[in-house]
């Protein structure tokens, strides 16, 4: 069972979490619980680090931001004990959860679930685990898994202890056809495939960390997203993330996602000759900058062309600086950038077998006067880059277009 920030936002909310745990214990289950920091806590800790120094040591950032989860793990153990349930808190290093050394965005490399499992066997003890953190064994230092990383802690632990299920409790009662905060007509999905959830998460649906879905898919962990705000004694349905063969009713489009974490760069009048794309993208790759959408315009004069691509907003300034520096090798007339853009995507495994799914979207967006700056497509999704001002209109338009709106 994993409980996110809003679910543990106060001691009162933690008591409510404990009642969910008690229900599972009373039903005869062994339970490992992964908790996030109280809502807003991690943001506060990140801000402290920035205030202390804009260029802080990543190891010390981890030392600071991992503390939020330690508080909630201890508190939940106390509350469970008070309810008469055997419970013990565990920090990442105590389990241990091993990670690589990429401080601030570490990847889990292994989890030793044996201590937790022996406590299950000895006395049915509930393990309360601090999410978001692990240990880099060679240096013995604490690491964190990147924002939203408690989801990944939970799935990795579930895989390690061979749990029957990984329940992710959050502030919505499942995965919706799109973010319910911006489309009130969004519907809860009963089921979604691992592949679709992976795309949804990668393309901006922050309900699960991308890495947690990858792990769930690789280790085949049935993952269930549900609400901690349900009455603990009569919980309602959530969304099961499962393999494709377990999906009964298949839609062409399952969900719409959007991401504001995109910035557009256009290089005007670059030479239209072999090696130019390499001259642009190799230096960016060497600086660890991920490039997402790429468009090269066919030129009129066959001598020069325009190249447009997107990077994440965090890399935008760095990318510009690298390109300006490489100006002479690339040879472009001007560099134009835009950060007020958003990527809207539609996802569905049904796209594999249906033609013209994206074309309908282009028409619908045009009818609303929304200009498309860039497009990418792959087997089970397509994305369009548009002006950020049209985010909600575009998401709502596509949501209705593919019949995802909840019946009124
Ligand atoms: P937690 O603190 O429990 O980890 P998060 O805030 O990380 O919770 O994730 C839950 C939020 O994800 C929801 O409140 C919702 O606004 C947002 N969200 C974005 N896209 C979706 C979606 N397709 N389905 C459900 N929730 C979504
Ligand atoms: N507390 C961490 C964060 O806010 C991890 C998590 O909640 O999943 O990013
Ligand atoms: Mg989260």
Q: Supply the pLDDT for residue 291.
A: 95
Dihedral (C-alpha) 305, 309, 315, 321: value to the nearest 10 degrees?
Answer: 0
* Cα 385 from Cα 370, distance rounded (Å): 10
Please give the DSSP secondary-structure letter assigned to residue 37: P
Cβ–Cβ under 8 Å, residues 167 and 2: yes
Contacts of 407 (CB under 8 A, 6+ apart): none
* Dist CA 11 CA 150 (whole Å): 19
The 8-class DSSP code of residue 44 comes to: H
343 close to 291: Cβ distance less than 8 angstroms:
no
The overall pTM is greater than 0.75: yes
Ligand nearest to the CA of 149: 2
Q: Which atom of ligand 1 is nearest to the CA of 181?
A: 16
SS3 163: coil
What is the Å distance from ligand 2's center to 227 Cα?
17
CA atoms within 13 A on the CB side of 14: 25
Q: For residue 266, give the nearest of 321, 204, 310, 313 by alpha carbon.
A: 310
Q: In Å, what is the CA distance from 381 to each residue of 1, 61, 256, 300, 349?
A: 30, 36, 9, 31, 8
CA dist 42 → 68, 69, 282 (Å): 6, 9, 35
Q: Give me the pLDDT at residue 251, please.
A: 85
Query: For 188, which DSSP code?
Result: B
Token pair of 386 as six digits: 């548009």
User: From ligand 2's centre to the CA of 148, what distance in Å?
Assistant: 4
Residue 83 and residue 159: Cα distance in Å, rounded? 28
Q: Whose CA is nearest to atom 9 of ligand 2?
A: 147
Q: Report how far residue 10's alpha carbon sits from residue 135's, in angstroms, rounded to the nearest whole number.
A: 27
For the CA of 4, the closest atom of ligand 2 is 7
Please report the atom of ligand 1 found closest to the CA of residue 6: 2
Q: Whose CA is nearest to atom 7 of ligand 1?
A: 207
User: Whole-angstrom Cα distance, residue 314 to residue 175?
Assistant: 27
Ligand 1 neighbour 397 (Cβ under 6 A): no
Residue 172's SS3 state is coil
DSSP assignment of 348-368: -GGGGG-SSHHHHHHHHHHHT
Question: Among 34, 42, 71, 108, which is best to mutate for testing ligand 2, by the most ligand atoms less than 8 A from CB?
Answer: 42
Model pLDDT, residue 247 = 87
**Farthest CA pair distance, the chain:** 79
CB atoms within 10 A of CB 136: 20
- Which helix (H) or strand (E) covers residue 26, if one does? helix 11-26
User: pLDDT digits over 195-238, tens only?
Assistant: 999 999 999 999 999 999 999 999 999 999 999 999 999 999 99
Distance separating alpha carbons of residues 176 and 256, to the nearest angstrom: 9
Give the β-pairing of 334-338 and 304-311: unpaired
Instruction: Give strand ranges (E) for 182-232.
Output: 191-193, 223-227
The finding on whether 92 has its CB within 6 A of some atom of ligand 2 is no
The rounded distance, in Å, linking the Cα atoms of 91 and 97 is 9
3-state DSSP assignment of residue 124: coil
Q: What are the residues whose beta carbon lies below 5 Å from ligand 3 (ion)? A: 4, 148
Q: Tens of pLDDT along the chain (408 residues)?
A: 999 999 999 999 999 999 999 999 999 999 999 999 999 999 999 999 999 998 899 999 999 999 999 999 999 999 999 999 999 999 999 999 999 999 999 999 999 999 999 999 999 999 999 999 999 999 999 999 999 999 999 999 999 999 999 999 999 999 999 999 999 999 999 999 999 999 999 999 999 999 999 999 999 999 999 999 999 999 999 999 999 999 887 789 999 999 999 999 999 999 888 899 999 999 999 999 999 999 988 777 778 999 999 999 999 999 999 999 999 999 999 999 999 999 999 999 999 999 999 999 999 999 999 999 999 999 999 999 999 999 999 999 999 999 999 987
* Contact of 141 with 21, CB cutoff 8 Å: no
Task: Answer yes or no: is the C-beta of 4 below 6 A from any ligand 2 atom.
Answer: yes
Q: Ligand 2 within 6 A of 36 CB?
A: yes
Burial class (CB in 10 A: 0-12, 13-18, 19+), 387: middle
């Amino acid at each position: 069972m994993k409980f996110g920030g809003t679910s543990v936002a106060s001691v009162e909310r933690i008591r409510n979490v404990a009642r969910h745990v008690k229900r599972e214990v009373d039903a005869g289950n062994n339970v490992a619980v992964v908790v996030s920091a109280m809502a807003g806590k991690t943001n506060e800790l990140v801000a402290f680090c920035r205030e202390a120094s804009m260029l802080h040591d990543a190891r010390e950032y981890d030392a600071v931001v991992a503390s939020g989860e330690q508080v909630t793990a201890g508190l939940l153990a106390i509350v469970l004990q008070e309810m008469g349930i055997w419970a013990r808190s565990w920090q990442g290093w105590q389990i241990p959860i091993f990670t690589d050394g990429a401080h601030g965005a570490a990847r889990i490399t292994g989890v030793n679930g044996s201590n937790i499992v022996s406590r299950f066997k000895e006395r049915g003890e509930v393990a309360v685990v601090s999410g978001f953190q692990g240990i880099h064994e060679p240096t013995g230092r604490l690491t964190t898994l990147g924002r939203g990383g408690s989801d990944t802690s939970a799935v990795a632990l579930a895989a390690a202890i061979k749990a029957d299920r990984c329940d992710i409790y959050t502030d919505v009662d499942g995965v919706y056809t799109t973010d319910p905060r911006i489309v009130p007509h969004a519907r809860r999905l009963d089921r979604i495939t691992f592949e679709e959830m992976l795309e949804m998460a990668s393309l901006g649906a922050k309900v699960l960390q991308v890495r947690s879905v990858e792990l769930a898919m690789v280790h085949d962990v049935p993952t269930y997203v549900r609400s901690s705000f349900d009455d603990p004694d009569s919980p309602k349905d959530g969304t099961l993330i499962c393999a494709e063969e377990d999906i009964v009713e298949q839609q062409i489009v399952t969900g719409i996602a959007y991401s504001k974490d995109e910035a557009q760069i256009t290089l005007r009048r670059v030479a239209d000759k072999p090696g130019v794309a390499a001259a642009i993208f190799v230096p960016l790759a060497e600086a660890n900058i991920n490039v997402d959408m790429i468009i090269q315009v066919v030129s009129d004069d066959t001598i020069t062309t325009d190249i447009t691509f997107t990077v994440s907003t965090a890399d935008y300034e760095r990318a510009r600086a690298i390109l300006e520096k490489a100006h002479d090798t690339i040879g472009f007339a001007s560099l134009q950038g835009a950060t007020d853009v958003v990527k809207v995507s539609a996802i569905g495994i049904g796209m594999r077998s249906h033609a013209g799914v994206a074309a309908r979207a282009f028409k619908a967006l045009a009818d609303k006067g929304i200009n498309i700056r860039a497009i990418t497509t792959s087997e089970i999704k397509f994305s369009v880059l548009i002006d950020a001002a049209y985010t909600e209109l575009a998401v709502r338009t596509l949501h209705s277009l593919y019949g995802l709106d909840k019946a009124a």
